[in-house]
Chain A
Amino acid sequence: MWENPTLEAEFLRSLGTSYRAIYACSLAIVGNASDADDIVQDVCLILWQKYHEFDPATNFRKWACTVAFQVAKNFVRKQRRRKSFGFSDEVLSRLEQVRSGASELFELRRDFLGGCLAKLSAQERQFLDQCYRSETSLVAKAQAQGASVETVYSRLKRLRRKLAECIDKTIERSL
């Protein structure tokens, strides 16, 4: 494909505008950031390999998300076989249905989250960023820093609750 610059540019443009959506769909199924990162890599490869089958008159994002859901569900199934527990196929299908059907609502909540984050203190933002920026687990990070896992985790829980309540209140006010 890279021999055709027009097609390449078209693919890159479409992928760029859909990248966040692909990640969100993958995350919805696998539930954690690290696995979602791996899924996105695989999805991009498949999209590239199948791009000649894509009808430009249709919606690239929708097509990409369908692929992302499929790849992510297969990933969870494999994990389930390996670990002997994991979401059932029924739960995975429902997650896909609800995630696909309510994507605009999720976008709205994301916008509200931005407003709620702005209300946090600089220290709270810094702490939250540190927790989410790390690619290791929170427990491993706390242990590596020589801190109490409970202390770090309870502070994180408080902040998450504060943000969730803020989003809920903002939605209530906007209705």
Chain B
Amino acid sequence: MTKPHSPIAEVRNLADAVFDRQIDEASLERLQFLLLSDISCLQAYLERIDFHGELRDRAMGASAPEQSMRVTLENLRIVSTARRPLRLWLGYSALLASFFIILLAGWEVLSGTFHRPVGNIINLSDNARGSNVGSLELSQVIRRGSVVSIADGFLSLQLPHVLVDLQAPTTIRIHSQGEVELVSGTLNALVSKGGEGFHVRTADALVTDLGTEFMVEYSVGKGTHVSVNRGRAEASLLDWKGQSTKTLEVTAGRAARFDKQSAVAKETEFQPEKFQAVERNRGKIRSITGDIRTCTQPPQTLTSDQMITANHLLVIPEQQSVILDQALVVNGKTIPAGTRLSSYLVHYNPTADAQFAPRGSITFMGRIAAVAVESRDLNSTDTTFGLSQSTYEKQDFRELELDEDEIQLSDDQRTISFFFGMSPPTFLDEVRVFVLSDHD
């Protein structure tokens, strides 16, 4: 590696390494020497760090500082609310609490349960962005005690027997594999067999699953809304000590509101469109891996170069649970009339300067019935299975190039893996996956 020509240039390079967290001990020593030897180096270092800060701000979007501040303030409110009843006892309690915290921490570490992994992120939308509480990556392990906060987009977490969906802006804290605290925002829980008893706690309410799919929404000043899509849940209004004062059983197609301030726990109107938003975002996707992302808003146009996906494949849930009124032939395979199918379009449209050929996989809750890879099959199923608000490409180049694009089905027919190549002049590749909906 050639050395930079001037101390200023060297300082800039070293500042880049600091910002990128690539600095080693020897380089830091050198940087310290330069910073102490010349004030212009100090100035150059600060300018460079500020330069990175501004680029990050702009990359995160104009609303990033406001979003970060909102999460910060939400956390302040939690601390404030939690501390209020203890105010009078603070002096004596502090010592006692410290003693118990040390004991507890010691016990947790010794027993190996502190920060134990409890799940992982299994779905992220293409616009998903974490707030400043922590980063978000697909397949990221979520540990007990950790905070998951999403400022934009949609994500799904897999906890044991429980699929948790978060719609931005939402912040949750994972207390254990069976209990999640909704700090603010919207949480959808799909609980499968073995996960009964899963809890969602808010400042107002404790929701306990009794075998179901339910949604909890909470924001300061608006209280807690609980809606049950399937099965049933028990929801309790909490007082300031966190003890339940009123309990309601909420069954499928019903909703209730809880507000600690006004001591309200009452049934409200059920709004099915709230669950439709989850369906639109995730469909019946169990999980995704690699360079695949889902989308939160159906694209208006999917024609060539109109919906760019730089370094990822986009999977778009299309029509769900369509009953075939006549047999459907896809890729030479006949699916009989009467079959119930859900459709997912996988869309990849990089630009000429794309850096990576993406790869990844999608696992569905149902079995894959057929995969349309040729333009003939894609075009003929756009009307029945496509989204009514989206315009689809009709040219042949939307189909896969079998010499460079690869797809693979798992033995259980639930997982499909992709590796798409990039071939100019048109880069668009699309696949439509038909999934059996008999699990509905």
Contact = CB atoms under 8 A, between A and B. Distances in A.
Interface of A: 1-3, 12, 15-16, 19-20, 23-24, 27-28, 31-34, 36-38, 40-41, 44-45, 48, 85-88, 90-91, 94-95, 98-99, 102, 106, 109-110, 113-114, 117, 123, 126-133, 135-139, 144-147, 151-152, 157, 160, 163-164, 167
Contact of B59 (A40, A85, A128, A139): A128
Contact of B20 (A20, A95, A137, A163): A137
Contact of A40 (B50, B72, B77, B356): B72
Contacts of A94: 35-36, 42
B42 to A, nearest CB: 5
Contact of A109 (B21, B47, B58, B353): B47
Given A31-B18, A137-B20, A129 B43 contact: no
B53 A33 contact: yes
B353 A123 contact: yes
B80 interface: yes
A80 to B, nearest CB: 10
Interface residues of B, number: 64
Which of B36, B52, B56, B130 has its CB near the most chain A CB atoms (within 10 A)? B56
Interface of A is mostly: helix
Contacts of A40: 68, 72, 132
A28 B49 contact: yes
Contacts of B50: 24, 27-28, 106, 109-110
Which of B18, B55, B65, B132 has its CB near the most chain A CB atoms (within 10 A)? B55
Interface string B257-279: 00000000000000000000000
A94 B43 CA distance: 10
B42 A95 contact: yes
Interface string B39-76: 10011011111111111111110000110110011011
A88 B32 contact: yes
Nearest to A36: B53
Contacts, number: 157
16 contacts: A19-B68, A23-B65, A27-B50, A28-B50, A33-B19, A34-B21, A45-B79, A48-B80, A87-B32, A98-B46, A109-B51, A114-B58, A130-B311, A132-B52, A133-B129, A137-B22
Nearest to B60: A133
A102 B47 CA distance: 10
Interface string B163-193: 0000000000000000000000000000000
Given A127-B355, A138-B20, 13 more contacts: A40-B68, A45-B79, A95-B42, A106-B47, A110-B50, A113-B55, A123-B351, A129-B58, A130-B59, A132-B56, A135-B134, A146-B357, A160-B51
B46 A95 contact: yes
A27 B53 contact: yes
A146 B35 CA distance: 37
